[in-house]
């Protein structure tokens, strides 16, 4: 999430999700609730890296999305587990719901 004109600044919001992994210092972490069963679109834009993607969250599930600002410019998602089960990777589709130029 970037505090720029046209983007919502949702940095460091919390809905009290459980902490799964330790994060390195300086990591920006944002938590928010989204409706289940409906496509949700996200945009990641940082230092020349631009990614737009979508997925459909399942009811009652928690997700973690990780964006890499490094040269590979990737976003990954996983469905978090509760208990001893491992987290599951979530496939992301390219979002056609928004265009880069619409934000300026």
The residue to which tokens 């289940």 are assigned: 36
pLDDT tens digits, residue range 16-30? 776 666 777 777 677
Task: State residue 57's pLDDT score.
Answer: 95
Mean pLDDT for the stretch of residues 5-18: 67
Beta strands in 1-104 (DSSP E): 40-46, 49-55, 62-67, 75-80, 88-89, 93-94
Task: State residue 67's pLDDT score.
Answer: 79
Average pLDDT, the chain: 77
Residue 98 has pLDDT above 60, yes or no: no
Q: What is the pTM of this model?
A: 0.69
């Amino acid at each position: 999430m970037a505090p720029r004109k046209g983007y919502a600044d949702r940095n460091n919001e919390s809905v009290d999700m459980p902490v799964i992994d330790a994060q390195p210092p300086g990591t920006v972490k944002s938590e928010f609730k989204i409706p289940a069963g409906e496509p949700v679109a996200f945009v990641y834009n940082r230092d020349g890296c631009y990614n737009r993607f979508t997925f459909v969250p399942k009811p009652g599930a928690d997700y973690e999305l990780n964006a890499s600002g490094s040269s590979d410019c990737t976003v990954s998602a996983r469905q978090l587990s509760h208990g001893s089960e491992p987290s599951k990777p979530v496939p992301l589709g390219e979002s056609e719901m928004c265009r880069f130029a619409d934000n300026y």
